[in-house]
Amino acid sequence: MKIVFVCEFSYPSKCGVWNAVYHTAKELKKKGHEIHIFSNNLIKGTSKKSKKQEKIEGITYHRFPTAYRLSQNAYQWKFEKELIALKPDIIHAHAYRHTYTQKIPKISKKLKIPCYLTTHAPFLEKGLRNPLLQFAVNIYDKIYSKRILNSYTKVFPISKWELPILKKLGLKKSKTILLPNGFPKEFLTVKTKQNNNAIFMGRIAPIKNLETILKSAKELPNINFTIYGPIEKGYKLKSKLKNVKIINKPYTQKEEINELKKNSIFILPSKREGIPLALTEAMGAGLVCISSDTQGGKELINHNKTGLLFQINNSKQLTLAIKKALNKKTWKTLSLTGKKSIKTRTWEQITKKLERIYKSDRKNPKSF
């Protein structure tokens, strides 16, 4: 099949949505499918731009200049003519409410092919958006959601907590299939040992609330903390603490695995998360994972059984959780149970399910 993924940013950007698209595309390419990725030409978190078209690892990238910016992570860009001319068999859009997600069903109808949408949990808790943007989101959901969501062949929420929200927005149950984010199976082969090293890996941005780690680090001078990842443009995160190392650097999967091996605790102190990829990877690698009690954190971690949770912004609770994870018996138990709880969610397994859905719908034209 000729499969097109449409997302806001693509290689070499670093973000959860792109990470999911990349791994899904790579797995489908292994299965012999022709893969194309449509995105804008911005490299997320930088002022740089990517080439209009290039082929990497057998995947063809089509990138388009932005006309204007709608929000920090949403832009307007024209791609319709090139997508129609490509004549794909499948179109799969990622990240609900972006302007391109309104266009995909119309293009699919014109080409008489199925189309899909992975939501990526865009339903933020109150207070995380500025009031004007939140007003626009409320209007969009009230006027457009039901029609747009149901114009897709299938919609894939990545988390269980999205299901009642999507139902309330009017998405039909028959079009809803839970399809969570996965992680590369290579993380399951990582062997970790308990030590006094704790790490955060991912995009260094205000939403990740990394100041909470710095507060705990001050209370735990004998623990070595590493914050590793690309720093979002305009964001400043600094620390004078001797036991804190901040590394402003994008990383490859190999580099991520090498860093995780050096640590025994993974910390994700975010203000909000859908289903955090970095957390699933760290759990798969056997680190004891400590997360703030975001929707995504609570869905992945069963407190005191597969990891530890603490209240958002509560550095005292985080400090206590770290101390608890330093206990040898507790660390070993949480490391094993965390890894076991996540091992069926590799990208290989997720993509097998996705491919079956594609093939089933193509055999049944009534589904689209």
| Phi, psi of 308, rounded to the nearest 5 degrees | -130, 145
The pLDDT tens digits for 154-192 are: 999 999 999 999 999 999 999 999 999 999 999 999 999
pLDDT band at 140 (very low <50, low <70, confident <90, very high): confident
**β-strand 2-6 against 90-94: which pairing, if any?**
parallel
CB 220 within 8 A of CB 197: no
State yes or no: pLDDT of 365 exceeds 80: no
In this prediction the pTM is 0.87
Sheet holding 197-201, edge to edge: 244-248, 224-229, 197-201, 265-268, 288-292, 308-310
- Dihedral-angle region of residue 198 (phi above 0 means left; psi in -120 to 50 means alpha; beta otherwise): beta
pLDDT band at 95 (very low <50, low <70, confident <90, very high): very high
| Phi, psi of 274, rounded to the nearest 5 degrees | -80, -90
And the tokens for 218?
Answer: 């001050």
| Residue 52 confidence (pLDDT) | 93
| Residue 366 confidence (pLDDT) | 75
165/185 Cα distance (integer angstroms)? 31
The pLDDT tens digits for 61-94 are: 999 999 888 777 788 899 999 999 999 999 999 9
| Residue 53 confidence (pLDDT) | 94
185/182 Cα distance (integer angstroms)? 9
| Residue 127 confidence (pLDDT) | 64
14 CB-contact burial (10 Å; exposed 0-12 / middle 13-18 / buried 19+): buried
The pLDDT tens digits for 292-317 are: 999 999 999 999 999 999 999 999 99
48-52, 106-110, 129-133, 318-322: segment of lowest average pLDDT: 129-133
The pLDDT tens digits for 191-238 are: 999 999 999 999 899 999 999 999 999 999 999 999 999 898 889 899
State yes or no: pLDDT of 124 exceeds 70: no
| Residue 128 confidence (pLDDT) | 65
| Residue 137 confidence (pLDDT) | 77
Domains and their CATH numbers in the chain: 2-181+346-367 (3.40.50.2000), 185-342 (3.40.50.2000)
Residue with tokens 């070499």: 12
